[in-house]
Amino acid sequence: MMIDFSLYVITNRDLSRNKTIIEVVEEVIQGGATIIQIREKNLPTRIFFENAQTIGKITKKAGIPLIINDRLDIALAVDANGVHLGDEDLPLKYARKVAPHLIIGYSAGSICEARKAEEDGADYLGVGSVFSTKTKIDAGEAIGAKKLEEIKRAVSIPVVAIGGITLVNLPEVIQSGVDGVAVVSSIIGAESPFQATKKFRFTIDYLRKGKIC
Amino acid sequence: MMIDFSLYVITNRDLSRNKTIIEVVEEVIQGGATIIQIREKNLPTRIFFENAQTIGKITKKAGIPLIINDRLDIALAVDANGVHLGDEDLPLKYARKVAPHLIIGYSAGSICEARKAEEDGADYLGVGSVFSTKTKIDAGEAIGAKKLEEIKRAVSIPVVAIGGITLVNLPEVIQSGVDGVAVVSSIIGAESPFQATKKFRFTIDYLRKGKIC
Ligand code: NI
């Protein structure tokens, strides 16, 4: 499966307004998300599994890859496309050993961390936080768009920018040359996740065509 | 590896008196535990992984099997011997599919649940709670020694009795014909887990020789 990282939407039940994660996922797929990550902390394993299984059916039908945050066991059990890890999760090398063929993403906030993750077998990187954010994304201090560009240049695997990305700062993020942008609160916490996704997707596509320069 | 379920000790950091889970594991192995389960809820994955990895080295050296509660990913990453699941964890069938060769234990509290788990591919059962207990063990109401015996007879896989087992009620548990007893608080919460394990082990061995009848 070729992965389109352009608009990487991350779920978080705490940010959803009276909507289940499943309803939100359906909306963001309709709106043009190219990849979905389920990031739900402190759910009992069975509940996380059941949600992931339901979402997996939706993403499969839509032809959209599904990534599970942290829980390699759930990723494998629901046959998700990948797992996203950070420094509080399983070490990359061990996850790779357990799951040789799974897509494994890793969070990085510096050139050093990015290169280490690439060496350890990451398939892509989540780099940030680009801007400051209240959403906990295992991403530390805000690094800014310039640093993001440096990290993107320092590795050869795809880079997804994450952290505080909005329609306003999207141009400088896209111009850094990253392969995609990860969005949590600006989409999941929006009144209409569908409309928010549509706007992000439209703006990304527009910026990529270079029409803004 | 042949598994001796006789004295199945389950760790729980909340019950340990000023000792790390690693120290407790070393003590209970010295005292005669025949199998260890790490059951730690709400730890970040990385911390759980690191503890499990350290304990895995200790159990391997001692020739004692290591079972991880709930977290199949950690069991696989640290190359533990098995995983123990219950109704809040991954469904047995899915775990079996992910890990065809791992020992998988499952919690059951009735003949029906026990037979279902056996059908779904469990390698052994944790049956209980036999007696009432304050330790949460995914085991529901106390079933008593008579029901335990009925469940043991209803399946052909090994049965480990769990829940509120003490030196006082150990005779009726052993006489039910189970393959082993799982102990949490009576050992982990003891002033000396080493001494407590030694007493349990001695009593189990003694009762099994039939000398009490
Ligand atoms: Ni759990």
pLDDT for the residue numbered A213: 45
Question: Which position has the token pair 């349990």?
Answer: B200
Q: Is the ipTM of this complex over 0.85?
A: no
Handedness of CA A20, A22, A25, A29 (dihedral sign): negative
Chain B nearest-CA distance from A103, in A, is: 15
Ligand 1 centroid – CA B90 distance (Å): 9
Residues of chain A scoring pLDDT < 70: 1, 135-140, 210-213
Please give the Cα distance from A87 to A101 (Å, whole number).
21
The fold of A7-208 is: TIM Barrel (3.20.20)
- Which residue, B42, B73, B31, is CA-closest to B190? B31
Ligand 1 centroid – CA A61 distance (Å): 29
The torsion of the CA quartet B175, B179, B185, B188, rounded to 10 degrees, works out to 130
Instruction: For residue range A121-166, list pLDDT tens digits in order.
Output: 999 999 999 999 876 655 567 999 999 999 999 999 999 999 999 9
With H, G, I as helix, E, B as strand and everything else as coil, classify residue B194.
helix
pLDDT for the residue numbered A1: 63
Task: Find the angle CA(B123)-CA(B128)-CA(B129) to the nearest 5 degrees.
Answer: 150
The token pair at B11 is 């760790």
Instruction: For residue range A61-71, list pLDDT tens digits in order.
Output: 999 999 999 99
The token pair at A61 is 């039908």
The token pair at B120 is 């779904």
| B76 at interface of A, judged by CB pairs closer than 8 A | yes
With H, G, I as helix, E, B as strand and everything else as coil, classify residue B85.
strand
Task: Using alpha carbons, list the distances in angstroms from residue A66 to A72, A100, B109, B185, B202.
Answer: 13, 17, 35, 41, 52
Chain B residues with CB under 8 Å of A72 CB are 73, 76-77
Please give the Cα distance from B73 to B185 (Å, whole number).
26
| A89 at interface of B, judged by CB pairs closer than 8 A | yes
Residues lining ligand 1 (ion), CB within 5 A? A 45; B 70
Task: Find the angle CA(A169)-CA(A174)-CA(A179) to the nearest 5 degrees.
Answer: 135
pLDDT for the residue numbered B136: 62
Please give the Cα distance from B114 to B120 (Å, whole number).
10
Q: Which residues of B are catalytic?
A: 39, 107, 136
